[in-house]
Amino acid sequence: AGIYVSTQAREFLSKLSHLTQIQIFVKIENVEGVNHFDEILKETDDIILLRGNLGIDLPTEKVFLFQKSALHKSNMAGKPAVCLPTKHHLTCFVDNMTDKLRPTRAEAMDVANGVLDGSDAILLGADTLRALYPAETVSIVDKILQRLRRSSTRIYTSRRL
């Protein structure tokens, strides 16, 4: 179904010459998306992995493997890809910082591992804005990203971070 919709969207956009810069983003959020990932990747401009939703359909131990595989394939295809965090309806990688000054080690590693896996962006959502320490959250994520940029141990490379 996703391939059909993407093909229809491309055909529609091709008829509108003034919309040449429009890109198609595809959310991968269920088993159907996982099973058809390679086909979807060929048809889309950008990939968004919704790990929380994937965790509903897939066993927990398979979500991280799919993340690594999907990000690697996206990078090899030259397609930007973003992972959204695992918590349902939360778009904050560092959820602990909504009321504490520091993220947990697991949250810091989640940010780092997303980048090491090849994610092209880190999403901090509305939860960050409503938190007690929004500026500190952005600062800590930036420090993690700066450290990764200087690191020579990156496994996969993202073009933008």
Which residues of the chain have a pLDDT value below 50? Answer: 87-91
Looking at residue 85, the DSSP 8-state letter turns out to be: P
Residue entry with tokens 């500190």:
136
Is the whole-model pTM more than 0.85? no
Q: What pLDDT is recorded for position 33? A: 94
What are the b/e assignments for 127-157, b being 16+ CB within 10 Å? bbeebebeebbeebbeebeeebeeeeeeeee
Q: What pLDDT is recorded for position 86? A: 52
Instruction: Indicate the Cα dihedral angle 24, 27, 33, 39, nearest 10°.
Output: 20
Q: What pLDDT is recorded for position 4? A: 57
Q: What pLDDT is recorded for position 91? A: 43
Report domain extents, the chain: 1-84, 86-156
